[in-house]
Amino acid sequence: MQRALTFVCLWLSVWTYVQAGGAPPHRQPDSPQPAHPPAMASDALADMPLWAYGITTLPQPGDTAEPQGWGRQFNPAIDHDEQLKPALHVAGSSRTYAPIDLRDWANAVDWFPDEHSPMPDVVQHGSAALGERRRACAFCHRVNGGGRPENAPVAGLPVEYFLRQLEDFRSGRRHSTDPRKPNVPTMIAIAQAISPAEALAAAEYYAKQSGAPRIRIIESDRAPPIQLHGNLFVATSNERTELLTDRIAELLDGDHEQFNDNPHVGYMAYVPRGSIERGRVLAAAGSPAQSCTACHGADLRGLALGPPLAGRSPSYLVRQLYDFKTGARDGSQAPLMKPIASRLSTEQMTDIAAYIASLP
């Protein structure tokens, strides 16, 4: 166990180092980050679900994000040549990658090319207009579109909804309630650079993906102790020793040591005891919010109006609900969601997300 945990920390330091935009010695300044409104006064955010943002303290006015990296991010803590050795495998794949391949923003690793339609260039390598600073959609949203709790599951989204989000990011109508969250300004910069043809290719590709495997939900009044690495949580032990009452603990559903961004490995979430049933009642009865099913479909798998919600990351769902409430998400269709999200308490958002994430 001790060894496994040490490795988890090492692996995570590598991953979060990349995701958080850690600066290797040779790194040059990134492209300017887009401007976004300052954080709201922290008393207005007293009910902010910090866990859903992968943070521990409230944002303050004037806070900004550290720019993220680009290109191949060598980790100075690990021997350079070791990072170039094609020594990584995952079960069932005949491909081999080197550790540096997992930290290459412009080339998403593709363990199982037969399991998806051909990846458009923008998904595998990023938007051409960004040149050497291009970032592959699949680097963050994964090849199968399952995403990670810190970004967004994009598999199965209707093309029209997907394109509208890119437009909202581009026009400054969608950002994050936490201005320090580094990947949202990156997403905004991507939306500003992407061509219409690339956007359509990415939307059509991800609309066809399944995002598999589905998230595993465990309802429990205790969860393992967890710790933040970048904006992602990891368990520091397998024992469920911590009380779980008012939050969700979303974690990788597998061994970090063997992960290697294997698309067959997904996420799991511990949700508070009773939250799924409370969330079901809230989503269906519509009180105090309007029934979610009215716009998102009886099974919450989406209608023309509202995007699919079922089985998506509960951290992501809560973050979006809160972003509608604060107005950080203020796109053309946000007025349909804002009054609903505004009437939900953070506890109710958590319950609804536990329920929705548990749906097939």
Catalog residues that contact ligand HEC under the rule CB under 6 A. Answer: 68, 122, 127, 135, 137, 139-141, 151-152, 154, 157, 162, 164-166, 176, 183-184, 186-187, 190, 194, 202, 283, 289-290, 292, 294-296, 305-307, 309, 317, 319-321, 329, 331, 333-334, 336-337, 340, 352
| Shortest separation between residue 296's beta carbon and ligand HEC, angstroms | 6
Cα distance between residue 307 and residue 267, in whole Å: 21
| Shortest separation between residue 300's beta carbon and ligand HEC, angstroms | 8
| Shortest separation between residue 191's beta carbon and ligand HEC, angstroms | 7
Q: Which distant-in-sequence residues (6+ apart) come within 8 Å of 63 by Cβ?
A: 38, 39, 178, 179, 180
What's the longest Cα–Cα distance across the chain?
A: 59
Residue 224's beta-bridge partner residues? none
| Shortest separation between residue 79's beta carbon and ligand HEC, angstroms | 27
| Shortest separation between residue 243's beta carbon and ligand HEC, angstroms | 26
| Shortest separation between residue 158's beta carbon and ligand HEC, angstroms | 10
Q: Which is nearer to ligand HEC, 137 or 224 (CB)?
A: 137
Q: Which is nearer to ligand HEC, 87 or 336 (CB)?
A: 336
| Shortest separation between residue 331's beta carbon and ligand HEC, angstroms | 4
Q: For residue 200, what are its two tokens? A: 């359509």
| Shortest separation between residue 256's beta carbon and ligand HEC, angstroms | 19
Q: Which is nearer to ligand HEC, 244 or 295 (CB)?
A: 295
Q: Which is nearer to ligand HEC, 165 or 260 (CB)?
A: 165
Burial class from Cβ neighbours inside 10 Å (0-12, 13-18, 19+) for residue 63 reads: middle
Q: Which of 3, 49, 26 is nearest to 353 (CA)?
A: 49
Q: Can you state the angle between helices 314-326 and 346-358, rounded to 10 degrees?
A: 140
| Shortest separation between residue 71's beta carbon and ligand HEC, angstroms | 13
Q: Which is nearer to ligand HEC, 116 or 319 (CB)?
A: 319
Q: Which is nearer to ligand HEC, 190 or 248 (CB)?
A: 190
Q: Which amino acid is at 116?
A: H
What one-character DSSP code corresponds to residue 310?
A: T
Q: Which is nearer to ligand HEC, 104 or 244 (CB)?
A: 104
Q: Which of 103, 107, 106, 31 is nearest to 73 (CA)?
A: 103
Task: Please list the alpha-helical segments (H only) found in the chain.
Answer: 2-19, 50-53, 80-84, 121-125, 137-141, 159-170, 183-193, 196-207, 256-259, 275-285, 293-296, 314-326, 334-342, 346-358
C-alpha dist (Å) from residue 23 to 29, 35, 216 = 9, 22, 34
Looking only at the bridges linking them, the beta strands covering 216-219 and 226-229 are: unpaired
Q: Which is nearer to ligand HEC, 222 or 280 (CB)?
A: 280
Q: Which is nearer to ligand HEC, 122 or 217 (CB)?
A: 122
Looking only at the bridges linking them, the beta strands covering 267-271 and 249-252 are: antiparallel
Cα distance between residue 36 and residue 185, in whole Å: 8
